[in-house]
Amino acid sequence: MPESRRIPLAGSERTPLAGARATCAVSPDERFEVTVRIRRKTPARDLTPDASHESDAPGARRYLSREQYAREHAVDPGDLERVQRFARDHGLTVVDASAPRRSVFLSGTVRQFEQAFGTKIEQYECDGHVYRGRTGALTLPAEVAEVVEGVFGIDDRPVAIPHFQRPNASGNIIAHAAHASFTPPQLARLYEFPGGDGHGQCIGLIELGGGFRSADLKKYFQELGLPTPAVKAVRIDGARNDPSTADGADGEVMLDIEVAAGVAPGATIAVYFAPNSDKGFIDALTAAIHDETNKPSVISISWGNPEKNWTKQAMHSMDQAFQTAAAIGVTICCAAGDAGSGDENPDGLAQTGDKPDGRAHADFPASSPWVLACGGTHLTTVGNTISAETVWDDDALRSATGGGVSDIFPPPAYQASASVPPSANDARHHGRGLPDVAGVADPQTGYKVRVDGEEFVIGGTSAVAPLWAGLVALLNQALGHPAGFLNPLLYGAKGGGKVCRDITSGNNGAYHARSGWDACTGWGSPRGTRLLEALKGTSGGTRAGAARGSRESAPH
């Protein structure tokens, strides 16, 4: 195909990690897989409700079924065939194609992918990290580029870090005094979670490394006096349940399972294990959202990175997937980060090779307007009651809740009256504010967990996302239908002030707590029964059919 007909794929630009150097060319015959994401066949405005209307709160919204979404809004068959034909013309093997996931999965050699996407693939090394990478933008023939949303997997650098707190600089988990920690059932009582056990619900967990041990789960829940939860490992892109040591990603995996199931022990826990790359993350996300077997009604994500460290095509594609989740009634809970308003803990970023720049950053995917971003607090109790709760802000660089203003996503309609401050970097810039809600995250008042045969206390906003996911499972069980996209209810007529405990003391560096919504803890920590009553008050309507009126959120 003539080069004159090729155009750059928007948002696909890549630069090497800071300090990285190309060490050698990758063997032209090395094989790997790539995911091509294709545009939706219907405009975004036809998919989800305008979140500015309180009448469109979750209980009143009509959610699509997964089957209805696939039939009415997935991929145009002609677009799917156009991409598959392009792949075959370049000698690539179509491993699979999914219209609901809007994805074509391709296998090929380095040489074939270089020719197909107009790039050069090299091996890079950075601070001991080795990854397959590329620079610049990918290119495609114009007639194919117009239908392609993103191409993922050519560059396989790690893209996210887990947001569970490792209190010391060496990165090891440190246990804290038992009196300063909580079990998930204790937090459920303190935060007034409604009754029930989540039976009939499935909580999805996205994990980009690590694993769980069944013996640990049996012992942990036995000590809590709870039944061992049903936990399923779902393999994505060849990844698997792969436990190693307590100071690695196992801490994240076990924390997520134990917190979510400790709150909703009757729920099924589906753990989607994927490689830590943009392809792995996106493939796990779309697999979970469109999983017709497990059908999670809520998904918890405790992995992320500052927005500046993502490609625009990755953020756009994931944001589109989150929008789809909102349309089919799947709640997405995302950790807001553990390094304050800068979101750049040097110890954590070392895992991905990224470098701090000293500016304020929002964490992605928490910054997507279609997710429930979860910030962190420091919790003090007297007996079985909360005596004080403040912003988690032990160390604004290494141990504090994330939060702030997105550089990428514009303010969503539902935040119109939330008084989101301008960016700390530029008073002229206004964007999506986060978090939306919060919960205890300070390691000094953290969560009792069991990891690889050892018991620890772990904190971080990583724990808050599965805590809220467990609450959503209880809400769904009590309501008899999915709570779904909660943000409109929280912001509509300042609803968050009615169903959350307002946190008014503390800061995360650049942003300060205040009465009402703030960029440290959002509306605050949960009051579960009040949230349930608010959802019951808006319940009604049917659960089938596309919701009306929408405004698409997209990177800009």
Tell me, yes or no, if 455 is annotated catalytic: no
For residues 495 and 530, the answer to whether their CB atoms sit within 8 Å is: no
Set 79, 256, 258, 338: catalytic member: 256
Set 237, 250, 252, 442: catalytic member: 252
From CA 98, how far away is CA 63, in angstroms rounded? 21
Tell me, yes or no, if 252 is annotated catalytic: yes
Set 423, 462, 525, 553: catalytic member: 462
- Relative to beta strand 447-451, strand 454-458 is antiparallel
Amino acid at 270: A
Q: To the nearest 5 percent, what fractions of the chain are helix, strand and coil?
A: 30, 25, 45
> Cα-flanking dihedrals φ and ψ of residue 200, to 5°?
90, -5
**Cα angle value 210/215/219 (rounded, 5°):** 115
From CA 206, how far away is CA 261, in angstroms rounded? 15
From CA 104, how far away is CA 73, in angstroms rounded? 16
Count of beta carbons in the 10 Å neighbourhood of residue 387? 9
The H-or-E segment that residue 551 falls in is none
> Cα-flanking dihedrals φ and ψ of residue 483, to 5°?
-70, -35
Question: DSSP secondary-structure letter at 489?
Answer: H
From CA 446, how far away is CA 458, in angstroms rounded? 5
For residues 301 and 319, the answer to whether their CB atoms sit within 8 Å is: no
Encoded tokens for 410: 């514009």
Encoded tokens for 106: 């391709």
Question: DSSP secondary-structure letter at 310?
Answer: S
From CA 203, how far away is CA 183, in angstroms rounded? 19
Tell me, yes or no, if 462 is annotated catalytic: yes
The H-or-E segment that residue 218 falls in is helix 214-224
Enumerate the active-site residues: 252, 256, 462
